[in-house]
Amino acid sequence: MSVRRFVIIGQTALGSGEFSLDDLASSSGRLDVLLRCVRAALLVSHGLRREVLVYLVLRGDPGAPRVVRIDGRSAKFLRPDERSLATLLRKTLAVGAGRELEEVRPGLSLCDGDLEKVLEDVGDGPRYVLDERGEDVRTCALSEDGVFFFGDHLGFDDATLVRLQDCPRLSLGPVSLHSEDAVTLVSNELDRRTT
Ligand SMILES: C[S@@+](CC[C@H](N)C(=O)[O-])C[C@H]1O[C@@H](n2cnc3c(N)ncnc32)[C@H](O)[C@@H]1O
């Protein structure tokens, strides 16, 4: 079975679970953006995409940098509303993390570390950076086993772009979209080509 992997770089999203569920956007360093990407990548109408892995890179202090991996093959209790997802993340982030990804709740793994941890974990498969200025996705070959990198509300920082400079850049069109909408469009593009 092929597995799609989506990586979202959260430049300000807190690495600790010390945010308020009642004021998620402003208390979590915009973790809400990343949670909407989780929903877009993993949840469909009345179901969960089992063939998807999502990596969240959390770079906002305190607690940063940290990586959370959500594996659709084993995840439980994923619900589409942001508050439920935020509650799940908060419980996950409350656990002390080691240097290697370790499952701390069903399907949710956590470690200390940054993009390098993700690159180690995903291995050598095809990688793509989602970028408004890239090549039109409709004219590109896409691997069903690809790893797709997305920026958050701030886009990508320069160091990340340098680290990923060898990856092809894919554009979803001329308009800069919200990250979760970009995730949806990539999923849709893969669905259309493979189902
Ligand atoms: C809100 S956008 C980032 C906007 C940010 N101000 C910038 O200039 O990079 C969030 C992310 O979604 C992806 N994205 C949004 N629109 C896209 C498009 N038209 N084509 C490809 N990727 C897109 C990119 O990965 C982007 O970093």
What is the tens place of the pLDDT at every residue in 80-96?
Answer: 999 999 999 999 999 88
Q: How far is ligand 1, taken at its centre, from the CA of residue 61, in Å?
A: 23
Q: Residues 102-128: what's their mean pLDDT? A: 96
Contacts of 6 (CB under 8 A, 6+ apart): 37, 41, 52, 53, 54, 55, 147, 148, 150, 183, 186
- List all residues whose CB is within 6 A of at least one atom of ligand 1: 130-132, 150-151, 153-156, 171-173, 175-179, 182
Please say if the pLDDT value at position 1 is more than 80.
no
pLDDT at residue number 71: 98
Q: How far is ligand 1, taken at its centre, from the CA of residue 17, in Å?
A: 26
CA separation for the pair 124, 190 (Å, rounded): 20
Q: How far is ligand 1, taken at its centre, from the CA of residue 104, in Å?
A: 31
Q: Provide the β-strand partners of residue 53.
A: 5, 71
Please name the residue whose Cα sits nearest to atom 12 of ligand 1. Answer: 179
pTM of the predicted model, to two decimals?
Answer: 0.97
Contacts of 177 (CB under 8 A, 6+ apart): 185
